[in-house]
Amino acid sequence: MFLSAWHRLLYIYIKYIIVMNKNIINYKYLYFILFYFILFFVLNI
């Protein structure tokens, strides 16, 4: 339940970054957030 809500929040945040910022630097920042989320997910399991 919490994981689903966290997933939805992350999706909205990523969508917001993609819509508001369309630069290569911000895509690198997006990849950093995705990497952090995957690392966070793996460490919690």
Write the pLDDT tens digit of every residue in 10-21.
788 878 777 776
pLDDT, greater one: 41 or 35:
35
Predicted confidence (pLDDT) at residue 36 exceeds the cutoff of 80: yes
Predicted confidence (pLDDT) at residue 31 exceeds the cutoff of 70: yes
Using the Cα atoms of residue 21, residue 15, residue 5 and residue 28 in order, give the sign of their dihedral.
Answer: negative
| SS3 assignment, position 1 | coil
Rounded Cα distance, 42 and 36, in Å: 10
pTM of this prediction? 0.39
**Tokens 């999706």 belong to residue:** 11
Predicted confidence (pLDDT) at residue 1 exceeds the cutoff of 60: no
